[in-house]
Amino acid sequence: MSFVPKTAAYSGKINAVTLGTGDKAIVIGGQNVLPFYTFDAPIENAPKIGVEISDAADSWTAPGLVEFYAGCTTMADRAKKAATMEGADFIALNFESADPNGANRSVADCVADAKAVADAIDLPIVIMGCKNMEKDGELFAKISEALQGKNIAVMSARNEDYKTVGASVALAYGQKVGAETADDINLAKQLNIMLKGLSIAPENIVMNIGTAAVGYGYEYVASTLDRIRLAALAQSDADLQMPIIAPVSTDTWSVKESTASEEDEPAWGNQEERAIGMEVSTAAANLTGGADAVIMRHPVAIATIKKFITELV
């Protein structure tokens, strides 16, 4: 008698969310199986990779990044170059220089950059803020207005500002809104409920449940991913069925393993290789835990994760 494997059927399904327009639009989510469990059912939409482009990219000193973006002087230039990267599915614009406690770039300048990028590429766009809620609120609203019709995703709406961000991003301009929490299933569910309470359709919501570089409390991320995915699929919890985008690059490139020079830590080996390893291992952990998309930075790391996804789906 031949062996017939027993498959696990789930009544729940992750919402399918479309980003972008035209031939380069992507769909994240849509599956009704655990991550990469192709032996249970086909994966409807393979996980996607976003390439981070920062308005502070002049501080990126890794030789591979410097070489890849050589000759690029603007965010639009870097976005056009990033769009050619192997594995790039969307472009994530990080406006970290808008932080009032940092360079404090004006909202108008950031909007101009976002418009220039949208004119230069046809890949979907995700917007990342500066982590200052007041500045982000204005920034997200103005960029959502300027890019109306581009079907972008804007991260992040948090518990403290979800009403203003949700209303301006999703309701006023028809963009996708990201619900940001910090490694807590109950907070993630509560925020999704509150966003839906504003009459934002579930298919216009994505989640950023929090991430961390591996080795830096990542067990909290792993357990949160597992619990959310199982609740969405096994318990059909509609308040946790939004797809997840994990911003891997900002965490992995800021930890000591990535920033310590070879002079300071000679036993650790090549600094760039360490950073790439941190990015690859963290992205892989997020994807196997349940993230539907990851945001990354280095072309070598992105190509590696693209191969990882292709061979598992």
Q: What tens digit of pLDDT does each residue of 132-179 get? A: 999 999 999 999 999 999 999 999 899 999 999 999 999 999 999 999
Query: What would the pLDDT profile of 241-253 be if each residue is shown by its tens digit?
Result: 999 999 999 999 9
**What mean pLDDT value characterizes the chain?**
96
Query: What would the pLDDT profile of 287-304 be if each residue is shown by its tens digit?
Result: 999 999 999 999 999 999
Query: What would the pLDDT profile of 83-119 be if each residue is shown by its tens digit?
Result: 999 999 999 999 999 999 999 999 999 999 999 999 9
Structure tokens given for 102: 């940092």
Q: Is the pLDDT of residue 3 over 90?
A: no
Overall average pLDDT of the 243-264 stretch: 97
Q: What pLDDT does residue 219 have?
A: 95
> What pTM was estimated for this model as a whole?
0.96
Q: Is the pLDDT of residue 74 over 80?
A: yes
Query: What would the pLDDT profile of 53-66 be if each residue is shown by its tens digit?
Result: 999 988 899 999 99
Q: Is the pLDDT of residue 6 over 90?
A: no
pLDDT band (50, 70, 90) for residue 2 = confident
Question: How much of the chain exceeds pLDDT 70, in percent?
Answer: 100
Q: What pLDDT does residue 102 have?
A: 93
Overall average pLDDT of the 34-46 stretch: 93
Q: What pLDDT does residue 58 have?
A: 86
Overall average pLDDT of the 197-217 stretch: 96
